[in-house]
Structure formats: C-alpha cells, structure tokens
Structure 1
Amino acid sequence: MSLPLALPRLSAVASDYDILLCDVWGVIHNGRESWPAACDALIRFNRDHGHVVLISNSPRPAADVVAQLDSLGVPRESWRAFVTSGDATRAELTTRAPGPAWVIGPDRDRTLYEGLDLEFADGAEDAAFITVTGLYDDETETPEDYRAQLLPAAARDLEMICANPDHIVQRGDRIIYCGGAIADLYAALGGRVTMAGKPFDPIYDLSLREAERLLGRPVDRARALCIGDGVITDVLGAEKQQLDCLFIAQGIHGDAARGPDGHIDPAGAASLLEAESTHARYAALDLAW
C-alpha cells in the first residue's frame, strides 16, 4: 500500500505548481458555510504562485453557482475560473435534443436545461432518455425511493445522463445523497449511464482549457495539482489525468484518517484510497496555507 505524503499546509508545495484544480463542496465549504482557512490558502496561491480553477460536480452551470459561493462567503479572489459538471453535461444534452427527457432533480437545477431546446416527459414511458441532477428532495429521500420508477426505464434501455457524479456530500453536519447515487442504482438495475463530471474526461478537458487561458500557454501537467475530498471523483479523476492530487481526508470520511495526535494519518488516508484502488500524492485533513 502506497502511503500519501502528509501535507498539513499547501504552502509547503505551492511553488511546485502553476495551477490548482480545486474541488468546491467538501474543500472550501460544506453547503452551509465556507471555511476561511481553505479560502485563504487559495487566495495566497492566486496572489503569489499561479491560478486556481474551481472544478465542481455541481449539476448547474458555473455562472449559476457563483451566487451560491458568494452567499456562503467564498471570496471571489480565491479563484480565477470555475468549471462545473453542469457545464460539461450541457454538451452531452445538446447532442440528444430534443429528447424528450425525463428529468429527475430539484427545481433549483433547472438552469442546466435553459437554451438547449429540449422537450420533457413525465416519466420513463414517454422519454427518449433520462437526465438526473440529484434527488427531488435530498433532505428526506434516498436512492431506493426511485427504484420502482427506474425499473421500467432500465427495461426500455433508456440512457441516463447524470449531471452530478458525486454519491454523497456533507451539508452542514448531515450527509446527503447526490445524483451519482441514483446513477449507481440505475446501473445496478442494468441501465446505461453517461457522466461528464469528475472523474470523467470532459470536465477536465474544460478545466485545463481554462487553465491554459489563464496561463497564456499550454499547461505543464507536472505543475498542476488537483485538490478534493471525493475518492471516486476527485482522486480517481486526477489519477486518470496523470495529475498530482491532494486528498482532503475529512468531512464525508469522518475521522477515518485522523491520527491519535489529531493530525492526518497517512495510513488511514491510504486505506480510504485503497478501497477504491486509487492513490494520491498528498493527504491532509483540510486545506490550509
């Protein structure tokens, strides 16, 4: 088992990188409040070392999520560009218009479909494909609440486009399900699933193009660092892209990587990563300068 290097402070390696591809939910906020130390670390990197590109599995376009970051107190100077799974997913949806699409997800995510000339169906029986951003009510529902509705869709071999590959996130002090959990259930039922967010290539293609725009030159991948708390999204995505990764091993992982001294335990972090057959160069409990 390869152990990640303990990295309690980003400043220790900041000079090694020109670009940070930084996850959002679970790294700089928890859905209820932002974390000042993490935001400060990104501000300092932007000021003294390079450029921060936020890379999120939010199913909404980046322009629509900026207001949420503002409301949570995430400073604009902590990032220079912002790419979401919603941005990458819109390209997939465009190729499947007009549908009709059976939409699963809350009303707040409807901006994903604006301007795409899609038609909409009420359920599997009338749809050409399914598009999922999350649960209708992630405060009360679980993926199992969708099993009965998804069975006929899988029987019809409808493709599911999932705009948020995350399975769970931490909202305040609660863990809630995301679109990826529904996609997992659908795949288990024999359904076909397509995703463009992390860990898949389309969102990284968009993010690296933004990084190239900021740098004014091609990105040296050896000088790009991914930061994230999702093992099967952030860490696996970085590995597939052959990019260094700082694994934030707290939040949704509880205290599994916290040592008895209160600091990161590399062996505990490695166990979390090994469970999904991936690895990260660095690990920390949270992001700080």
Structure 2
Amino acid sequence: MTPHIDGLSALSGQYRALLCDVWGVLHNGVSVYRDAEAALGQFRAAGGAVVMITNSPRPRAGVIQQLDELGVSRDTYDEIVTSGDVTRELIRQADGSIFHLGPDRDKPLFDGLNASMVGEDTAAAIVCTGLFEDETETPEDYRARFEPLVARGVPFICANPDIVVERGDRLIWCAGSLARLYAEMGGETRLAGKPHAPIYALASRKVAELTGETIDKSNMLAIGDGMPTDVKGAQDFGSNLLYIAGGIHAGEYGGAENPDTAKLETFLKEQGATPDFWMSRLVW
C-alpha cells in the first residue's frame, strides 16, 4: 500500500527541496488552493527550497504573471521552471520556418528567438502550444489537418506535454493530446517538458543555485497529480514522489475529497505508478 500522509509537515526535515507541479496542485486555472499555497510557504519558512515545475508553454515570466493575477503569494516559491523554457531550445534547433499551432496568448514563447513564422503549408516544423480553441475543439478535429503534415515529414514540437488540465471543474485538452495524435498517425514528435529529462535537469540546476550546493535526488521530493507527466517524470528522474490524488485522475477512484483507497491502489498499479506517498490535496 502506498502510504497516505495527512500533510506535508509529516515529511518535514526529510527533504531539502520540492519540485512541485503548478496546475492541479497549486491551482485549477480559476481558483488557488490556499492550503497548498500555505504548505509550500511553510516548507520554505522551514528552510527548504521550492521550485515549481510546470508544463505551461509560457516562459517563466508568463507563469509568474499568471500566478500574480490569481493572487498567489510570491512567498510560495523560490523559482519556476516551465516546459516553455526548455522547449525554446528545441525551437532554436529546428531547421527552417515555424508554424505556430495554438492561441495567440502563447506567442511570448517565441520572443527573442528570431523564428521565421509561416503558414502550415510551407512550414518546416510545427510548434504546438495548445488547441486553437480549447473550450470547443477536441484533438480529433485536427486529424485531417495533420495528414499532409505527417506525409511531408514535418516534425511536431510540443511545448506542453499535458494531455488534459483542470480549468475550474472541467478538463481541457492540452497540446500533449495533439502530440499524441500526431505520433499515432506516424509523425515525429519532439518534447522537453514533463516527463522528459530536460525540464528536470533545469529544475535541478535551479535547486543547486538556490541552495549553493548540488542536492542529491534523494533529498528532493516531486509533487504532482498527472500520471503521464508528473508521476512518470519523477520516477524517471529518480526523486521521491508525493502523489496528489485529487487532481485530474480523481474520477478514477471516487472523487477528489474522499477517494476510495482500494480503487486508488488498483489505479496506481494499472498505471505502473509507485509514488512514495499520497494525499488528496496538498496541505501542511
């Protein structure tokens, strides 16, 4: 059985740093989980470092702005690392012109990169930050659009590997769902955010900068709610993991607040997930 803990305080003193997911742990896109905010602040007050690690396609500054707008205290975290940050290197490496698939609000991803932006018919690579209209579209709406791109061998750079994310009480499709479809159709995909190594390497460097020393993975605790991203990423990286059961998978085992523990254990086993601890929502 995966140990259940009542709060992060149960692990106080065991870890030097947290690598904490943002969307689904700290907020749901609409409301901030104030208990989670307080827990991260308490960890910092006790001398620990908190690096938020998110699959947002926005660079770090854009996520800080979003958290400010939601009313998240800057005392909650020391640093933020985003999928957008590490995806910028993939964009630099792309050979030729770029077609941006995603909403205009994500265009800061390209700031300072001198990328040549063109239409999809002539692009040498796709950079996807999300669906154009994530409130109404589904990945299947893009199948016909992808067919000629796959046939031409156009690589698909995914700036947000999340499949879905919470927005209030709904689940919204993310760029990762389009990358999954593109790969299923035979296309080449390139990803650097969770669960892939580049974002964890950057987060580790930030922890070292914050603490003034190289911290062993055994002294870092990852916190997250997404199986294919947070959970797989932490397990591949080699840190311990606190699974937040009240996130995007809560419907699999009875809901966010009172999950059926037997169903939860079955779900974890089916997913090949081996978190070190779990709680429904992050609290101190």
User: In which range does the TM-score fall when normalised by the shorter chain?
Assistant: over 0.9
Following TM superposition, by how much is the alpha carbon of 1:65 offset from its aligned partner in structure 2, in angstroms? 1.3
Q: Given the alignment of the two structures, is residue 245 of structure 1 paired with residue 244 of structure 2, yes or no?
A: no
What number of residue pairs does the alignment pair up? 283
Contact 1:264 1:283 in 2 (8 A): no
* TM-score of the superposed pair, with normalisation by structure 2: 0.96
Task: Decide whether the 8 Å contact of 1:6 with 1:264 is kept in 2.
Answer: no
* Counterparts of residues 108-187 of structure 1 (less than 5 Å): 108-123=105-120, 125-187=121-183
Trace 1:186-201 onto structure 2 (pairs within 5 A): 186-201=182-197
TM-fit CA distance, 1:258: 4.9
- Which among 85, 98, 103 is matched to residue 100 of structure 2? 103
Distance 2:85 2:151 in 1: 30
CA contact (8 A) 1:250 1:257 kept: no
**How far off its partner does 1:265 sit?**
4.5
Q: Which amino acid aligns with 2:33?
A: W
Equivalent residue, structure 2, for 1:282: 277
**Which residue identity lines up with residue 79 of structure 1 in the other structure?**
Y
Give 1:264 shift: 4.8
Which residue number in structure 2 is paired with residue 83 of structure 1? 81
Contact residue 60 and residue 85 of structure 2 kept, 8 A: yes
Q: What's the offset of the Cα at 1:278? A: 2.5
Match of 1:216 among 204, 212, 215: 212
Q: 2:114 is matched by which residue type in structure 1? A: D
Q: Structure 2 CA distance, aligned partners of 1:271 and 1:161?
A: 34
CA RMSD of aligned residues (A): 1.4
Deviation at 1:14, TM superposition (A): 2.2
Instruction: State whether residues 59 and 83 of structure 2, in contact with CA within 8 Å, keep that contact through their aligned partners in structure 1.
Output: yes
- Note the residue ranges of structure 2 that are not aligned, 5 or more in a row: none
Hey, what does 1:8 align to over in structure 2?
6
Q: Distance in 2 between matches of 1:245 and 1:137?
A: 33
Name structure 1 gaps, 5 residues minimum.
none
How far, CA to CA, are the matches of 1:135 and 1:225 in structure 2? Answer: 32
User: Does the 8 Å CA contact 2:250/2:259 hold for their aligned counterparts?
Assistant: no
